Structures are given as C-alpha cells and as structure tokens.
Amino acid sequence: MPTEYILYLFIFPSLSVGCHPGKKTAQQQDATRLHYRAVEGETFMLPCINSSPTVWSRTGEGGEEYKGHSFDCGKAFLAEAKHSGKYTDLTRSLLSSGSKLIFHLQVEKLSVGCYQPGEKSHVTLRLTAGGKLTCPGLKCSNNTDVLWYKGDKTKSCVDNGELQFKPVRERDGGVYFCDRRLREENITWTLRRAVSVTVTPRSSPSSPPTILNNSEPEEVELGLPYNLTCKVSFEYEEGFSPKVLWYMNYNGNTENTTLLPSEELHPQREILEELKIIQVSIIKKVTPQHLNHTYTCSTSNAVGNSSITIKLKRRNKAKWPCLVGHAVVSFLVVAGLGGIVHLKRLELEIIYRSYFQYGKHDTEKKQFDVFLSYAWSPLLADVTKSWTLSSRSGSFKNEEACQSITELFSTDDGEATQRPLEVLLPKVLEDQWGYRLCLLDRDMLPGGAYTNDVVLAIERSRMLICVLSADYLTNSNAVFVLESGIQALLQKRALKLLLIWTSGASGSLMEADPPLPTLVRKALRVLPSLKWSSSKPARSKSNFWGSLRKAMPNIDSEAGFSHAAPMIKLC
C-alpha cells in the first residue's frame, strides 16, 4: 500500500468509513408496478426484487408473452427503443406465489429528464487516488436522493448524490448505475443512468525501475550455452515502452562494452500499477574468455536509470551427485547380482562344488574309484552280448596305456574300426588305467532294491561318470543314477561328477520322454563334460582321451578293498 495513502487514512480516518462494497439489497421501490426510464444507447440493467433472481418477460397489452424478449435481472444490456414496454416477473408467475409484478420500461433519447453538456458516461480514475462519480443530470434537480449500484449490489459511500472512492482500487473498475426518482402525473418514475469506470495507474512513475537480480557471480559450465537473465520491475507509465539491454564489458572495463543480442521481452503484469519484464541474452557456448568479462543489465524510465553488473564463474562439479550416482549404480549392480544369484543359485552351487570343492573333504577311503553309468541300446546289447569284462590287470605307465588303447581300436585285420564308447570305457579305465570300476550290470546282485543300491554305490565311489546318449536320457533308471549323483554332489559329499556327451544326445535333450527333472536339466548345463564323436576314430593321443585322463582322480593304491570278486552285494 502506498505511503501517502496510509498517511491519508491516518489524518482523515472518518472519510474512509462506509466506503466499502455494499451487500445485495432489494430495490427500495417494492410495489406491484415499477416504472423505469432509460436513455437510448446507454447500458441498462433490469432490477432484482427482494434479493432474489428475477426473469423479466416482455408481455403485450393483453398479457401475451413476446418470444425472445426476456431479461435476467442484474444482467446489463444496451437499451434500445424497441425494449420499451411492459414486463412481467416470469419467476413468480411460474411459481404461482404472490401477485404478479409489472415492470414498465420507457426508453427515450438523451433529452429525457435534465441534460447538461459535458456530462460524462465514462470516467477514468487513478489508482490509489481519491475519486468520485456524478450521476448524469443530477445537478439539474434539487433531488439529491440517489442510489448507486454495481451489478445488483448497492454502494454505500455516497455524498450529496455522488459516489465516493477513498481510495480508488483496481477492483473498482466496471459499470455503475445511479437511480433518481421523478414524479410525473402521479406516477413515480425511476431514471436509471449508467457510468462506466476505468481504473488506471498513476500517469508517471515515482522511482526508477527496480532490477530484481542480485549481483552475485553466476555459475556456468564451459562448452555449454548459458542464458543471461535480467528481471526488472517497472511502475506504470502512460505511453511508455520499456527497454532492457545487456552489455558485455571486456575484461571488466565498463568503458569498453559491446551490446549483446537479446531475445524478445517477456512482460508479466501481476498487478495493475506494476509491470515485470524478463530480458534474456544467450551465450551460445561458454569459453574461458567469457569468465574474464563482466556483464551489465541496464534499463531506465522517466525518473532515472538502473543497472546491475554480474560476473561469470566456472561451476565446480558437485561431488555429492557423483557419490549418489555411484551409490545408485552400485546398488543396482548388487541388486542385479543378487537377482542372478537367486535365479541361478542351483547352477552356481553345482559349479562351485564341481570345480572348487572336489578333493577338500576326500579323506574317507572308497571301495570304488569310478561309478560308470551308461544305457545299452538294443543294437549295442546284441553286439556286446558275448563280451565279458576281464579282471583288472593293474596300472600301466602312460606309454604302455597308450599302446594298449590303440590295440582296442584295431581288428584282427589291422584296420582301425570304431567300437562303442560304452564298450571302450570299461576296458580303458579298468584294464589299461587301473581304476576300480562299479558297473551296475556286473557289481550288483539281482533282486535287491534298485534305488538303495544306486545311492549306496555312489556313496562308495570317488567319481561318477555318466555316458549321455539318446537312450540314456530316455531311460528312467539311468536318469535316476544321474539325479542321485547330482543330489550327492549338493550334499557336500566328496564326489566328482563328469558327463560324456555322445553324438545325438544333446538333440534329444529337449525331446526327452518323459521330460527330465528340473534338477537334472539345470545341472546338465553347468556340470563338467567331455564330448565323444563316433564319426572320428578315437586315437590314443586324441583330445578326448587326454582330457579324460586329466579329469580322472588319482589311483588309490592303498585301498583296502579288492576288485577280484566279480559280484558284490552292496546292500
């Protein structure tokens, strides 16, 4: 609030009493017949009766209603001669409550009543100053009894028929109506005139523009664009076009300046007497040279000039955001690894026990070095029907073992031929390399509990080798041996498990009938394995036999069990 207005209220407090917007009131003329006069071409408003919404409908002399000639009370319109006539309160007629109200409207030219040249139907008032409105034609009569309205609200700050404003506020703009009573031929007429009010700020400012920026250095990043922004507040000045300019001062010298290109002004008028301007100048790419200069925002009005000078400084990269970013990334990595461990827990445990745990708990003497598991196909069963495994003849040196393996691949004619791996493995492991083998079809007596015999045989073996073929993966007994070996591995037992894939086995993995157990399917992907290809002759120095030899455990020469007995009852 301006200082002069506060002093004004302090010195003359009584003058401001009662000059507030009035409340909704009914017209004092409350009768069944109302007579109003209006000036043609002026704004007119039909009155509201008893503070209630009223709809006035045009009626003829016989009481018939004119279509399209209805007006809501409190709604202003431009009075024309055709609006003259009789109106009925349509709201009361529809509700059938009380007697009908008849409203007579007479629209005449400006000569109606008393008229003096120079009367104003439009008044401009200055904001925060005092002001008054005079009802047109008021001074031509001794009757100073005037009622003032704005909409359907009465205005109470009236002195000698003039509406007073102490002081003028922004909300005081609009259309006001003044009512005066005239008595003609025993009829009391209400002459309603309109006065339009426009509120404007003071014509000239009282102070220079105010720059809202502070003079602190502004942080920038090299290589990026930057906007120099200047915010200025102007007092209202009639006919004034504000200008805000940016200058660059070379090396801080205000006498050596260059005008910077600027964007269009962005005006923001929050209150009537104040205008805020935002002026932006864009530095397309900040370089180290820009840090050596200063920048001045300058503006002026009729009272004086205002300016502010700023400097740019290089922004130090915030450490906290980096730390937060590292923490978030670390959390996401840990969360991702945790999710992988949770989903792949079984596979990870099998990998750990297969590659890192074997041999750490192998202090117990075992009856067998290797439990060899395979499944005979019908064709192999016929070919090997007459073949019988001989007893172990002891271990050989590497050169002797290689020569012995070569002899297994040769026929009597000296031509190399390929024998099934299910036939070769027992002869190589037992006869040539000297390992104690456990074979289900040889070392278990018939009639026993198969599942118990398998579990006990695995417990008494240092290693389990499974020859995976298409027939193996569809054989429920063979799959049970593999599953039992995986479970023994997960139970922290000193067991080594090796898979040997034959040709055609991987293709039948997805087509196994019945489907393989979930534990087996997951373990097949991560267990140590070798691949045997029947299409190539297995020579003594082949990669397969060399890899198999490395994967085998050391021969336990101090075992307390003899392999001489051809049949052993396990349970």
Q: Considering only CA atoms, which of 209, 279, 294 is closest in space to residue 249?
A: 294
Q: CB within 8 A of 505, min separation 6: which ones? A: 468, 469, 470, 472, 473
When pLDDT is cut at 50, 70 and 90, the band that residue 360 belongs to is: low
Using 50, 70 and 90 to split pLDDT, how confident is the model at 451? confident
The 8 Å CB, 24+ separation contacts for 344-353 are 346/519, 346/522, 346/523, 347/522, 347/523, 347/525, 347/526, 349/490, 350/486, 350/489, 350/490, 350/522, 350/523, 350/526, 350/527, 351/526, 353/489, 353/490, 353/492
Coil, strand or helix: which one is 121? coil
Mean pLDDT of the chain: 76
Which one has a higher pLDDT value, 401 or 459?
A: 459
- pLDDT band of residue 94 (cuts 50, 70, 90) is low
Question: Where does the pLDDT of residue 119 fall: very low under 50, low under 70, confident under 90, or very high at 90 and above?
Answer: low
Sheet holding 226-235, edge to edge: 210-211, 226-235, 274-283, 266-271
The DSSP result for 163-175, as a single string, is EEESS--GGG-EE
**Cα separation, 21 vs 132, whole angstroms:** 14
pLDDT higher than 70, residue 398 = no
pLDDT value of position 509: 63
pLDDT of the residue at 322: 63
Give the confidence band of 412 by pLDDT, cuts at 50, 70, 90: very low
Name 232's bridge partners. 211, 277
Residue 325's pLDDT is: 73
Query: Distance between the two ends of the chain, CA-based, in angstroms?
Result: 106
pLDDT in tens, 261-287: 988 887 876 666 778 889 999 999 999
CA–CA distance, 459 with 463 (Å, rounded to integer): 9
Span 3-23, pLDDT tens digits:
444 444 444 444 444 454 444
Helix %, strand %, coil % of the chain (to 5)? 25, 30, 45
Max avg pLDDT among 105-114, 254-263, 380-389, 499-508: 254-263
Indicate if the pLDDT at residue 405 is higher than 60.
no
Task: Identify whether the C-beta of residue 195 lies closer than 8 Å to the C-beta of residue 119.
Answer: no
Mean per-residue pLDDT for 183-208? 84
Q: How far apart are CA 166 and CA 158, in angstroms?
A: 11
> Angle at Cα 95 formed by Cα 93 and Cα 97, nearest 5°?
85
**Statement: residue 415 has pLDDT above 50:** no
- What mean pLDDT comes out for the span 55-82? 77
- Is pTM beyond 0.75? Reply is no
Neighbour tally for 146: CB within 10 Å? 19
Question: Is the predicted pLDDT of residue 414 greater than 50, yes or no?
Answer: no
- At 387 the pLDDT is 47
- Helix, coil or strand: residue 195: strand
Least confident range of 267-271, 295-299, 358-362, 540-544? 358-362
Q: Are 56 and 88 in contact (CB under 8 A)?
A: yes
| Contact present, 453 and 461 (Cβ < 8 Å) | no
Higher pLDDT, 98 or 211: 211
**Which region, left, alpha or beta, applies to residue 458 given φ > 0 means left and ψ of -120 to 50 means alpha?**
alpha
DSSP designation for 428 = I
Q: How confident is the model at residue 254 (pLDDT cuts 50, 70, 90)?
A: confident
What is the mean predicted confidence (pLDDT) over 37-64?
A: 79
Q: In this model, does residue 477 exceed pLDDT 50?
A: yes
* Per-residue DSSP letter, 464: E
Q: Give percent of the chain with pLDDT exceeding 70.
A: 70
